Amino acid sequence: MPQHKFLQVIVDPERCQGHNRCKAIAPRLFELDELGHARAVGDGTVPPGLEDKARLAEANCPEFAIKVAQA
Amino acid sequence: MTDRPPVSDWAKDFDHLDPRWVTEPYQIWDELRRQCPVAHTERYNGVYFPSRYADIRAIAYDTEHFSSRRVVVREMPPRVPTDSGKPKSPPGASTLASPPITSDPPYHRPARMLLLPAFTPDAIGRLEAKTRAICGDLIDRFASNGRCDAATDYAQHVPVAVIAHMLGLPEGDGEKFRRWIHLLLHEGIAENASFTQALAEMDDYFRVQIANRRSVPGEDLITFLLGARMEDQPLSDEHIIGTLRLLLIAGIDTTWSAIGSCLWHLAQHRDDRRRLVTEPALMPLAVEEFLRAYAPVTMARQVAKETTVGGCPFKEREMVLLSFPAANRDPEVFPQADRVQIDRAENRHAAFGLGIHRCIGSNLARMEITVALEEWLTRIPNFDLADPASVTWSHGPVRGPRKLPVVFR
């Protein structure tokens, strides 16, 4: 068992319609492309301390495009 | 306006222009959600009204059975059958296309992608200082009076000035824009003459603007559309005019209604006012909650192919009111949906629609609402409705206060 378990945020590009709620809630976890559609920053690994923000971004996405999973 | 018989049964004979629906729709929708989640009326040539979040979401996603070729429910002139037996479009129908809001796949996506870069948070952020100045100037005009109409003296001017700036149109034409919107979305819902008149006037106005930009390009969205290419072709003038009509209409009425509803709420909730003044960091959550609870926009779809949603059959050619405001009040999805909680943290509201037609101006709307509330509360932290009975609400696809007299110290 690893000592630290990290969470990972995943954006489904087929579902994302560019509401930008995730970017507003967790700007360190999500970035936008030139059309305003979201993607995870880097590989989506959630730095320690931002777990709640990741969960909130998931819970506020109107398109159910965000998943938070164990990395 | 046509006189229509009063509604006796909301489930089988609803009328979204009925004064009770216009003034206080939420209880009617709650009742329908419990008893008849897909209401229907024979009025307006047949319209469905789903009130559950799940059904509204399913319809928004199903572009195969539900077309956006008509997005507003109105009294249509009688259809004239042609020789082939196919009904002929009403006069003006060919000029009604406003891409991408009236486009279905596959035409929708390229028309939308064209516009998206102008409406990203970064692009909209560059308009914030200008918006703040607009709000400040408006408040200067009435701050020392101790009273104003928060709808007609404030809310309605904010988006007009911002969208005029984006399109490179004179701010002084605002009165014209508001008149067109009233004719199209208010009077024009029931009266075809108002509707066609506004369309003709807008057409003339935009043709002149397009000609002007062709000779002297600016740095505005009209100039941008003139240079834009879709699938390697320049846009037709009809496409450009349709898109401009959409940007002008959708950019004004909606946000003005949202700002008005926020102020209507705050005028009656001293604790929420106080919290927003003392905890300004709550503003983003509060704006999302106001958008949920008082979502201004109800879109529509036309049934393209017979289907079933939520156990109810939908007949081809009839219309569907796609009430995002009703979806946002569904207690299955939003606990205590009828209570406005400005610190609601989990709020997956659908105020800007769902699926491929998500409101392209959502970042603009959020910025304008936020700035308008911040500037108002900084200057006028305490205010009350002058007379609750004198508040009036718009009917049709956009709901918001049209008269909102307030008093303040």
Query: Which DSSP string corresponds to A7-37?
Result: EEEEE-TTT-----HHHHH-TTTEEE-TTS-
pLDDT of residue B345: 97
Alpha helix locations (H) across B269-344?
270-278, 283-293, 324-327
Q: A62 vs B119: CB contact, 8 Å cut-off?
A: no
The answer, yes or no, to whether residue B89 has pLDDT greater than 60, is: no
pLDDT at B359: 97
Q: Which residues of A touch B347 (CB under 8 A)?
A: 60
Residue B164: pLDDT over 90: yes
Residue whose C-alpha is closest to residue A5's, from A51, A40, A57? A51
Cα(A43)–Cα(A34) distance, rounded to whole angstroms? 19
**DSSP string covering B52-89, please?**
SHHHHHHHHH-TTTEESS--S--PPPPPEE-TTSPEEP
Tell me the CA end-to-end span of chain A in Å, nearest whole number. 13
Q: Which residues of A touch B122 (CB under 8 A)?
A: 32
- Contact yes or no for B156/B178 (Cβ under 8 A): yes
Domains of chain A with bracketed CATH? 7-70 (3.30.70.20)
The mean pLDDT value for B126-140 works out to 98
Rounded mean pLDDT of A44-53? Answer: 97
Q: Give the one of A18, A24, A59 whose C-beta lies nearest to B116's C-beta.
A: A18
End-to-end CA distance of chain B: 41
Report residue B283: phi and psi, to 5°.
Answer: -55, -45
Q: Is the pLDDT of residue B91 over 60?
A: no
pLDDT at A1 over 60: no
Q: From the list A19, A20, A35, which residue is nearest B117 (CB)?
A: A35
Q: Show residues of chain A in contact with B327, CB under 8 Å.
A: none
Q: Looking at the predicted structure, is the pLDDT value of residue B93 above 70?
A: no
> In b/e form, how buried is each residue of B260-289, taking b as 16+ CB within 10 angstroms?
bbbbbbbbeeeebbeebeeeeeebebbbbb
> Taking CA atoms, what residue in B is nearest to A52?
B345
Between these two residues, B195 and B404, which has the higher pLDDT value? B404
Q: Give the one of A19, A34, A63 whose C-beta lies nearest to B362's C-beta.
A: A19
Q: Lowest-pLDDT range, B43-47, B71-75, B240-244, B282-286? A: B71-75
- In order of their start, the domains of chain B are 10-408 (1.10.630.10)
A35–chain B Cβ distance below 8 A for any pair: yes
pLDDT reported for residue A2: 52
Angle between the B283-293 and B270-278 helix axes, to the nearest 10 degrees? Answer: 150
- Mean pLDDT, all residues of chain B: 93
By DSSP bridging, strand B319-323 and strand B47-50 are parallel
The beta-carbon neighbor of A62 closest among B284, B350, B363 is: B350
Cβ distance of A62 and B352 shorter than 8 Å: yes
Cβ-nearest to B121 among A20, A62, A64: A20
- Does B171 score more than 70 pLDDT? yes
The answer to whether the Cβ–Cβ distance between B284 and A24 falls below 8 Å is: yes
pLDDT the model gives residue B77: 55
pLDDT digits (tens, 9 = 90+) for B312-369: 999 999 999 999 999 999 999 999 999 999 999 999 999 999 999 999 999 999 999 9
Quick: pLDDT tens for B68-87.
999 999 887 544 333 333 33
Q: What residues contact B175, with CB distance under 8 A and at least 6 apart?
A: none
Q: Which of A17, A20, A32 sits opposite B356 (nearest CB)?
A: A17
Contact B117 A32 (CB under 8 A): no
- Alpha carbon of B385 to those of B149, B156, B238, B404: distances in Å? 10, 17, 44, 7
Name the amino acid, one letter, at B75: E
What is the token pair recorded at A14? 């087929």
Give me the mean pLDDT over the A1-10 stretch. Answer: 79
Residue B83 pLDDT: 37
Q: How many CB pairs under 8 A join A and B?
A: 51
Distances (CA, A) of B47 to B3, B18, B40, B302: 18, 14, 6, 9
Provide the token pair at B84: 């082939």
Cα B153 from Cα B21, distance rounded (Å): 26
| Mean pLDDT score, A20-32 | 98
CA distance A70 to chain B (A): 21
Q: What is the pLDDT of residue B4?
A: 80
Q: Is B258 helix (H, G, I), strand (E, B) or coil?
A: helix
CB count within 10 Å of CB A24 equals 16
A26-63 burial, b if ≥16 CB within 10 A, otherwise e?
A: beebbebeeebbbbbbeebebeeebeebbbbbbbbbbb
Q: Please tell me which residue of chain A has the smallest CA distance to B112.
A: A35
Given CB atoms, is A24 within the 8 Å cutoff of chain B? yes
**Under 8 Å between Cβ of B385 and B261:** no
* CA atoms of B277 and B256, how far apart (whole Å): 22
Residue of A nearest to B57 (CA): A63
Give, as one character, the DSSP assignment of residue B183: I
Q: For residue range B250-282, what is the model confidence (pLDDT) as tens digits?
A: 989 999 999 999 999 999 999 999 999 999 999
DSSP B372-393: HHHHHHHH---EEES-GGG-EE
B178's tokens: 């508001």
Gap from A27 CA to chain B (nearest CA, Å): 12
Q: How confident is the model at residue B25 (pLDDT cuts 50, 70, 90)?
A: very high
Average pLDDT in the A32-37 region? 97
Closest approach of B331 to chain A, Cα-based (Å): 16
Q: Which of B84, B360, B209 is nearest to A35 (CA)?
A: B360
Q: What integer pLDDT is reported at residue B326 of this predicted model?
A: 98
What pLDDT was estimated at residue B81? 37
pLDDT band at B109 (very low <50, low <70, confident <90, very high): very high
Percentage of residues of chain B with pLDDT beyond 90: 87
Q: Reply yes or no on whether the pLDDT at B10 is more than 60.
A: yes
CA atoms of B164 and B247, how far apart (whole Å): 10
pLDDT at position B190? 84
Percent of chain B past pLDDT 70, that is, above it, reads 94
- Bridge partners (DSSP) listed for residue B132: none
How far, in Å, CA of B321 to CA of A6, rounded?
44
CB contacts of A68 in chain B (<8 Å) are none
Residues 6+ apart with CB under 8 A from B254: B159, B296, B297, B359, B361, B365, B398
